């Protein structure tokens, strides 16, 4: 245990950078497509943009260690809701304008911009005031960070005091890893396994209620759409 090889350390750094790049790409894609959803005149373009936004959000979920949620996002939103939206658009596109929306009034645009702007401003201020640590504080994040420093130190081991620092960093990393291992055993297994446990354990009642809600929505949708036959 302890010392990393130079190659794996370089790989780790490269991986981190790639991930950061990918993250920013997804961020920009999501925001851009969300803006497209809002501004596109053709409602079909909006729907496609929305699909991209959903994809982006799914990607962000992966970055947030919510893999299962990302899958659900893909299946339900991209695979389900977008399709539903498309259907609705196609069914209702028999007017002369087709799928292209008539231009919006200045009043509507202005009102939308003002309200959205005020809301965003409020949210931004709220975020700015937030009193939570912005960087991840899990043991894993910490030892990964420390490992980066260790890698740099190992690059020139003959610097003054480097041996002691390497020693103390290694001990710290080992302790953090131990802590993480302990945590993972305590909270059973990480990820989907634990999520499933929580969902069908602590949240079983909301889960069942949600199923009833979906059934009701299904029946309600059918009843609403059904042509009245007399």
Partner 1 sequence: MPLPSALPLPAIENLLSGGPDNLFNYLVLGALLFAAGIFAMVSRRNAVGILMGVELILNASGINFVAFARFGGHETGFHGYDGQIFALFIIVLAAAEAAVALALVLAVFQTHRTIEMDRVDELKM
Partner 2 sequence: MGDALHQAMSTQIQVLTWAPVVILCLPLLTFLILLIGGRKMDKGADYFAIGLMGLAFLASVLLFFVNLSYGGADHAGWSSAQARPFVASFDWMQFGNVRLPMGVLVDNLSSFMAIVVTGLATLVLIYSIFYMHGDSMYRRYFGFMGFFCFAMLGIVFSSNLLMTFIFWELVGLGSYFLIGFWFHKPSVARDHHYQELKASYATGIDERYLSPAHAQKKAFVMNRIGDFGFITGVSLFLVTMLAVAKADPSTGFNAGPLDWTNLYAAKEANAFASVQFQLFRFSFTGIDLLTLAGILTFMGAIGKSAQFPLHTWLPDAMQGPTTGSSIIHAATMVAAGVYLTARIHPLLTEGSLFFVAMIGGITAFLAASMAMVQWDLKAVLAYSTISQLGYMMLGLGSGSYTAGVAHLYTHAIFKCMLFLCAGSVIHACHHLQDMNRMGGLRKKMPLTFIATCAGVLAISGVPLFSGFYSKDMILASALSSALDHGRLHWAPYILGQLTAALTTFYMCRMLFWSFFGTPRDKHVHEHCHESPAVATGPLLILAVLCLGFWWSGTLFGHTGQFAPLTLEATVLDAHGKLAAEPAGWIDAAMVSPVQREELSALAAQGEHAVHEHHHRHHTAHIWATGLSLLGVLLGAGLAWAIYGLKKLDPDELLARHPATLGLAWQLCAQLWFFDRLYQDGIVPLAKRFNRAFYVFDFGVIDQTLVDGWSVAIRIVAGAARNIDNWVVDKCVDAFGVVTWLLGAVARTLQAGRIQYYVALTFGAVAVLLLALLLI
Which does residue 182 bind out of partner 2, partner 1, none, counting CB within 5 to 8 angstroms by kind?
Answer: none
Minimum CB distance to partner 1, residue 71 (Å)? 11
Quick note: the x/- pattern for partner 1 over 154-173, rule CB under 8 A, is --------------------
Minimum CB distance to partner 1, residue 216 (Å)? 8
Which does residue 90 bind out of partner 2, partner 1, none, counting CB within 5 to 8 angstroms by kind?
Answer: none
Name residues contacting partner 2, limited to 17-76 (CB under 8 A). Answer: none
Minimum CB distance to partner 2, residue 34 (Å)? 17
Name residues contacting partner 1, limited to 26-65 (CB under 8 A). Answer: 27, 30-31, 34-35, 37-38, 43, 46-47, 50, 53-54, 57, 60-61, 63-65
Query: Which of 3, 11, 98, 101 forms a contact with partner 1 (CB under 8 A)?
Result: 101
Minimum CB distance to partner 2, residue 37 (Å)? 16
| Residues 207/199, Cβ–Cβ less than 8 Å | yes
Helix (H, G, I), strand (E, B) or coil at 136: coil
Phi, psi dihedral angles at 122 (to 5 degrees): -60, -45
| Residues 74/59, Cβ–Cβ less than 8 Å | no
Which residues lie closer than 8 Å to 133 by C-beta, 6 or more apart? none
Helix (H, G, I), strand (E, B) or coil at 37: helix
d(C-alpha 152, C-alpha 64), whole Å: 27
Minimum CB distance to partner 1, residue 108 (Å)? 5
Name residues contacting partner 1, limited to 166-225 (CB under 8 A). Answer: 187, 194-195, 198-199, 203, 206, 210, 213-214, 216-218, 220-222, 224-225
* Helix or strand holding residue 3 (H, E): none
Name residues contacting partner 2, limited to 166-205 (CB under 8 A). Answer: none
State yes or no: residue 132 binds partner 2 (CB under 8 A). Answer: no
d(C-alpha 201, C-alpha 211), whole Å: 15
Phi, psi dihedral angles at 42 (to 5 degrees): -80, 125
Name residues contacting partner 2, limited to 95-114 (CB under 8 A). Answer: 108, 111-112, 114
Rg (the chain; Cα; Å):
25
Burial of 29 (0-12, 13-18, 19+ CB in 10 A): middle
């Amino acid at each position: 245990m302890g010392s990393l090889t130079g190659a794996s350390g370089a790989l780790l750094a490269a991986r981190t950078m790639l991930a950061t790049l990918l993250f920013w790409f997804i961020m920009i894609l999501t925001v851009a497509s969300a803006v497209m959803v809002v501004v596109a005149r053709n409602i079909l373009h909006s729907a496609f943009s929305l699909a991209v936004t959903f994809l982006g959000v799914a990607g962000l979920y992966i970055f947030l260690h919510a893999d299962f949620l990302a899958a659900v996002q893909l299946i339900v939103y991209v695979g389900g809701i977008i399709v539903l939206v498309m259907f609705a658009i196609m069914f209702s596109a028999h007017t002369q304008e087709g799928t292209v929306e008539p231009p919006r009034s200045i009043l509507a645009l202005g009102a939308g911009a003002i309200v959205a702007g005020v809301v965003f401003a409020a949210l931004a201020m709220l975020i700015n005031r937030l009193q939570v640590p912005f960087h991840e504080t899990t043991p894993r994040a910490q030892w990964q960070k420390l490992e980066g420093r260790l890698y740099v130190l190992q690059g020139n081991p003959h610097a003054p005091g480097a041996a002691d620092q390497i020693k103390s960093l290694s001990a710290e990393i080992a302790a953090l890893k131990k802590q993480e291992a302990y945590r993972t055993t305590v909270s059973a297994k990480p990820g989907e396994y634990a999520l499933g446990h929580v969902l069908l354990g602590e949240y079983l009642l909301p889960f069942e209620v949600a199923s009833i809600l979906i059934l009701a929505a299904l029946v309600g949708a059918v009843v609403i759409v059904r042509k009245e036959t007399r």
